[in-house]
Amino acid sequence: MEKIISGVKSLTIPLIQFLSILGIIILIQIIFKNQFIVGTIINTLLITSVIFLGLRQAIGIAIIPSLFSISTGMMPAVILPFVPCIIIGNLILVLTFNLLKDKTYFLGGILGSILKFGFLFSVSSLMFSSLPKGILYAMSYPQLFTALMGTLLSFVVLKAFKKI
């Protein structure tokens, strides 16, 4: 019986952490409409989820919010073609950070940010060049800025929780 209770406890905390991070991401998309605020918080949580939850759950965190935004109609129709690209960009950040975090935190975050930006900028320039300039701009330098700010903010959060 104690083994069962111990097993349930060991699953409960990670599940609560996963749902909390996911809930915060969804909530900030509802509350804030500013790309710089939302993007910075999402990128912060993507990086912190790697440390708090591990790679598998961080991958879920990288995918689920975009799917939620589509299913609830929160995402403007003009951005829908970018959704797979946004998900891939988030995965690039999470995977790169996870790969390099043990060597140096900032290398993982900065390189992940640059790769995410490079991917989104290239895809939007090559595949979606006929879309309005405002949409294309949102997939360019703001992505680099928010990913770098997310790297910095996640460092502060992780230090506060003594995770790094």
Which pTM value belongs to this model? 0.90
Q: What's the number of domains the chain is made of?
A: 1
Q: Which helix (H) or strand (E) holds 2?
A: helix 2-31
Which residue matches tokens 């003009």?
78
CATH label of the domain that carries residue 20: 1.10.1760
Are 46 and 65 within 8 A, CB to CB? no
The single-letter DSSP state of residue 129 is T
| 55-59, 76-80, 98-102, 135-139: segment of lowest average pLDDT | 76-80
Cα dihedral 113, 116, 118, 123 in deg (nearest 10) = -160
The winner for highest mean pLDDT among 3-7, 31-35, 106-110 is: 106-110
Mean pLDDT of 111-116: 98
What is the reported pLDDT for 9?
Answer: 64
Between 128 and 87, residue with greater pLDDT:
87
- What string of DSSP letters covers 37-104? HHHHHHHHHHHHHHHHH-HHHHHHHHHHHHHHHHHHT-S-GGGGGGHHHHHHHHHHHHHHHHHHTTT-
Domain that holds residue 52: 2-160
Burial classification of residue 2, based on how many CB atoms lie within 10 Å of its CB (0-12 exposed, 13-18 middle, 19 or more buried) = exposed
